[in-house]
């Protein structure tokens, strides 16, 4: 592809790729110079041109010499549009999931349901790129736009026809998922998170609403978890563009959850669909996992799946890594669960999911990530102590912050909690204290394979550590 094929006024120069990191620029690259919270890409334009960039996408006032200046008031969006033309084609059917909690599970469960329907499917998100054959980590919920689009194009070349992906608030605000057709968007829920970046809940919601007001195809559909208070705003945004709305939940019209009964291996759902009730044995525990499964089913239906057949496939779903994953049993017979819950609402949901399965005490181990929204820390401590019987406050990913300070902010609203800084020791203490009829919940890191301390990532897997301590 030549530069002039992408932009007016371009030369015959051959485009070899796109980059937003000047260190990855090679001859023929189009460089995206964006202003970020920590770095300003415009400071590296000269270095990018020296390395061979043939064009630079940047604000009109940016200084570009020696390469074509593709000026745009919103350079991230312009860059994404150009990159999409370069990397296309993509899987024929793509859907996006946004919300505070449940994005990973919903995207992955959607992939599973598509596969059961006979499609070659994949998902992209916190777990990385997942297909029927492999899982490759990308390191972010929503990777940078170059990685995202190249991954999507790679999936299409491998024969993937259906792909689901997580659309985080950061990713939507920074146009990391632009350019490819999105047949359907989904909304799971909204609660406090990422206010270190968005500052207010309204700004946080507005970022997520972009999926419905701008990103989803004009003739596409939106799946909404109707039981969340923010669902009305999502529905309004969707209908203002003429998008088809499929609502699910106890207040849902497309898939109405009539009842939910926990059992030893999961839960029994009664779902009203097309005027009839259908019984589903869902092999996942917890109300929030039922919600994720129904939103996933809604996405499959929105993209052409048969409703009755899709609901029938729910009984064959497989738990998602690090999402209420049963890691081991203690010597006393208490099950140990690992969950990615790292917000007050997610901790509440995880505890409430496990409570019906605990005949005695529920123990929780939790911490909070450094360099992230500090305001949620005491809220996390309060929810844990209000709902669990035994609470251990430990380190999560402290990053550049003092771990003791993070723990103290959680402990301030967690009376009676035990503070153990070392995460392995905290997990070991909870497991040792759990008796028959108890349940242990290790919250915060889920599927993660490392603990971020300073600028280092130390090997740490909650599931592996839980199994070692239990043994």
Task: Evaluate whether 81 touches 70 at the Cβ level (below 8 Å).
Answer: no
Per the annotation, does 103 bind a ligand? yes
Per the annotation, does 343 bind a ligand? no
Q: For 118-172, how does the pLDDT look when each residue is reduced to its tens digit (9 = 90+)? A: 999 999 988 889 998 777 765 555 578 999 999 999 999 999 999 999 998 888 8
Instruction: Determine how many CB atoms are found less than 10 A away from the CB of residue 456.
Output: 8
Angle between helices 75-87 and 145-157 (to 10 degrees): 20
Output the pLDDT for position 37. Answer: 73
Give CA–CA dist 160/361, Å, rounded: 45
Per the annotation, does 23 bind a ligand? no
Per the annotation, does 275 bind a ligand? no
Angle between helices 344-354 and 287-302 (to 10 degrees): 110
Specify the 3-state DSSP secondary structure of 383: helix
Per the annotation, does 151 bind a ligand? no
Indicate the average pLDDT of the chain: 93
Per the annotation, does 448 bind a ligand? yes
Domains along the chain with CATH numbers:
3-78 (3.40.1390.10), 88-316 (3.40.1190.10), 325-470 (3.90.190.20)
Question: What single-letter DSSP state applies at residue 429?
Answer: H
The number of angstroms, rounded, from the C-alpha of 327 to the middle of its chain's C-alpha atoms is 22
DSSP assignment string, 110-140: HHHHHHHTT--EEEEETTEEE-SS-EE--SS
Output the pLDDT for position 197. Answer: 60
Q: Report phi then psi at 6, rounded to 5.
A: -100, -40
Per the annotation, does 99 bind a ligand? yes
Helix and strand counts by DSSP (H, E) for the chain: 16, 23
Output the pLDDT for position 192. Answer: 60
Per the annotation, does 29 bind a ligand? no
Per the annotation, does 59 bind a ligand? no
Specify the 3-state DSSP secondary structure of 376: helix
Per the annotation, does 142 bind a ligand? yes
Output the pLDDT for position 284. Answer: 94
Residue 221's closest CA among 298, 123, 151, 146?
Answer: 298
Give CA–CA dist 414/417, Å, rounded: 6
Specify the 3-state DSSP secondary structure of 166: strand
Per the annotation, does 396 bind a ligand? yes
Burial-class residue 122 by CB neighbours within 10 Å (0-12, 13-18, 19+): buried
Q: Round to the nearest angstrom and report the end-to-end CA distance of the chain.
A: 58
Per the annotation, does 268 bind a ligand? no
Give CA–CA dist 118/93, Å, rounded: 14
Output the pLDDT for position 244. Answer: 97
DSSP assignment string, 30-49: EEE--B-SS-BGGGGHHHHH
Task: Evaluate whether 215 touches 192 at the Cβ level (below 8 Å).
Answer: no
Per the annotation, does 397 bind a ligand? yes
What averages of pLDDT result for each successive group of 10 residues across the chain (471 residues)? 91 95 96 88 96 97 96 95 95 95 94 97 91 70 83 96 92 84 95 66 85 90 96 94 97 97 91 96 94 98 97 95 92 95 92 93 98 94 98 97 98 98 98 97 94 95 97 92
Record the tokens describing residue 9, joined without a space.
């006024």
Output the pLDDT for position 265. Answer: 79
Instruction: Determine how many CB atoms are found less than 10 A away from the CB of residue 273.
Output: 18
Per the annotation, does 105 bind a ligand? yes
Per the annotation, does 115 bind a ligand? no
Q: Which residues contact 127 (CB under 8 A, 6 or more apart)?
A: 104, 108, 135, 137, 320, 321, 322, 447
Q: For 85-105, how does the pLDDT look when each residue is reduced to its tens digit (9 = 90+)? A: 999 999 999 999 999 888 999
Residue 424 half-sphere exposure toward CB, CA atoms < 13 A: 11
Q: Which residues contact 8 (CB under 8 A, 6 or more apart)?
A: none
Task: Evaluate whether 164 touches 93 at the Cβ level (below 8 Å).
Answer: no
- Buried b / exposed e along 280-296 (16+ C-beta atoms within 10 A): bebbbbbbbbbbbbbbb
Question: What single-letter DSSP state applies at residue 13?
Answer: P
Output the pLDDT for position 351. Answer: 97
Peptide bond connecting 89 to the previous residue in cis, omega within 30 degrees of 0: yes
């Amino acid at each position: 592809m030549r530069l002039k094929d992408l932009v007016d006024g371009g030369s015959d120069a051959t485009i070899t790729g796109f980059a937003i990191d000047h260190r990855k620029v090679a001859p023929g690259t189009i460089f995206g110079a964006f202003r970020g919270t920590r770095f300003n890409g415009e400071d590296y334009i000269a270095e990018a041109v020296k390395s061979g960039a043939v064009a630079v996408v940047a604000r009109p006032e940016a200084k570009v010499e020696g390469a074509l200046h593709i000026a745009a008031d919103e350079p991230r969006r312009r860059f994404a549009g150009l990159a999409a033309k370069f990397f296309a084609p993509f899987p024929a059917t793509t859907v996006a999931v946004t919300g505070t909690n449940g994005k990973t599970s919903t995207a992955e469960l959607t992939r599973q349901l598509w596969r059961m329907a006979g499609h070659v499917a994949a998902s992209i998100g916190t777990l990385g790129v997942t297909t029927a054959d492999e899982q490759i980590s990308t390191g972010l919920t929503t990777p940078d736009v170059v990685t995202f689009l190249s991954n999507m194009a790679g999936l299409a070349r491998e024969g993937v026809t259906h792909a689901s992906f997580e659309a985080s608030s950061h990713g939507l605000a920074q146009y990391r998922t632009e350019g490819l057709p999105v047949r359907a968007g989904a909304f799971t829920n909204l609660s406090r998170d990422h206010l270190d970046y968005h500052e207010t809940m309204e700004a946080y919601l507005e970022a997520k609403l972009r999926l419905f007001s701008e990103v989803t195809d004009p003739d596409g559909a939106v799946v909404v978890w109707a039981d969340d208070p923010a669902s009305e705003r999502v529905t309004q945004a969707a209908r203002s563009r003429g998008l088809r709305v499929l609502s699910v939940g106890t207040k849902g019209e497309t898939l109405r959850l009539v009842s939910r009964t926990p059992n030893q291996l999961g839960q029994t759902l009664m779902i009203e669909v097309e005027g009839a009730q259908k019984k589903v044995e869902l092999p996942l525990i917890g109300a929030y996992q039922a919600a994720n499964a129904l939103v996933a089913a809604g996405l499959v239906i929105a993209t052409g799946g048969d409703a009755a057949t899709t609901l029938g496939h729910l009984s064959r779903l497989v738990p998602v890594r690090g999402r209420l994953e049963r890691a081991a049993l203690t010597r006393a017979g208490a099950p140990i669960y690992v969950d990615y819950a790292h917000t007050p609402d997610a901790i509440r949901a995880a505890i409430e999911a496990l409570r019906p399965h605990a005949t005695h005490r529920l123990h929780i181990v939790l911490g909070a990530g450094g360099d992230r929204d500090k305001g949620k820390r005491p809220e996390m401590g309060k929810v844990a102590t209000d709902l669990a019987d035994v609470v251990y406050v430990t380190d999560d990913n402290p990053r550049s912050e003092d771990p003791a300070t993070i723990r103290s902010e959680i402990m301030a609203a967690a009376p009676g909690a035990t503070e153990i800084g070392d995460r392995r020791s905290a997990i070991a203490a909870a497991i040792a204290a759990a008796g028959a009829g108890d349940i242990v919940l290790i919250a915060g890191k889920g599927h993660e394979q490392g603990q971020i301390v300073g600028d280092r990532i130390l090997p740490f897997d909650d599931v592996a550590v839980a199994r070692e301590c239990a043994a």
